[in-house]
Amino acid sequence: MKITETSLPGLLVIEPRVFEDERGYFFETYQEERYKEAGINTNFIQDNESKSVRGVVRGLHYQLAPWAQAKLVRVVQGRVFDVAVDLRKGSPTFGQWLGVELSEQNKKQMLVPRGFAHGFSVLSETAVFSYKCDNIYDREAERSINPNDSMLKINWNLEGADPIISEKDAAAPMLSNAEMNFIFEK
């Protein structure tokens, strides 16, 4: 397993060890002891899965404390451009975002710490997205940032596809206008 730190402290890219043979492939998508040995001491308690069609942009979402979630995200089928935004108060990279292509082919995972907003765009005909969370979903604590935020200027790499965004996300505030009380302690 290879772990790569990114320019946003705590945001990691993980490349699991994949076993391939004439039948196909096998890999452990998560293994508590190995991930803890690598410094990922997150206690995941919920697994999620979503399927989306080309052009879909889900997010940017986060949950207010004490319901903030760390996520271990990956793609089971297809290709996505996965984006995390640092919202941690006092972080040297506060307000910065980073995107990584996660796919069925590269089998890369991203560890998104608490205090980040998260979202992704779908680059393939369909994409099945699977992720672990270390806190439950709390509808009242959930907040969104507009995926077209004028300050973040995220390029979702839609490769010409028309964006498909939920009503909730299309109506989400821009980061500059969002409730500043979502600022997380680092």
Ligand X SMILES: Cc1cn([C@H]2C[C@H](O)[C@@H](COP(=O)(O)OP(=O)(O)O[C@H]3O[C@H](C)C(=O)[C@H](O)[C@H]3O)O2)c(=O)[nH]c1=O
Q: Which stretch binds ligand X (CB under 6 A): 1-9, 10-18, 25-33, 113-121?
A: 113-121
Which residues are known catalytic residues?
61, 131
Q: Measured from the CB atom, is 3 or 143 closer to ligand X?
A: 143
At 124, list the tokens: 């393939």
Q: Measured from the CB atom, is 24 or 69 closer to ligand X?
A: 69
Beta pairing, strands 88-89 & 184-185: parallel
Residue recorded with tokens 């979502």: 182
Q: Which residue is nearest to ligand X (CB)?
A: 137
- Asked if 138 is part of the footprint of ligand X (rule: CB under 6 A), the reply reads no
- Asked if 118 is part of the footprint of ligand X (rule: CB under 6 A), the reply reads yes
Q: Which stretch binds ligand X (CB under 6 A): 24-32, 118-126, 147-155, 177-185?
A: 118-126
Q: At its nearest, how many Å lie between ligand X and the CB of residue 168? A: 6
Rounded-to-10 torsion of CA 171, 162, 110, 134? 30
- Asked if 10 is part of the footprint of ligand X (rule: CB under 6 A), the reply reads no
Exposure letters 128-151 (e unless 16+ CB within 10 A, then b): bbbbbbbbeeeeebebbbbbbbee
Q: Which stretch binds ligand X (CB under 6 A): 11-19, 85-93, 112-120, 175-183?
A: 112-120
What stretches of 27-180 adopt beta strand conformation (E)?
46-53, 57-63, 71-77, 79-86, 88-89, 97-103, 109-112, 116-122, 126-133, 142-144
In the complex, the residues that contact ligand X under the rule CB under 6 A are 48, 50, 58-59, 61, 118-120, 137, 166
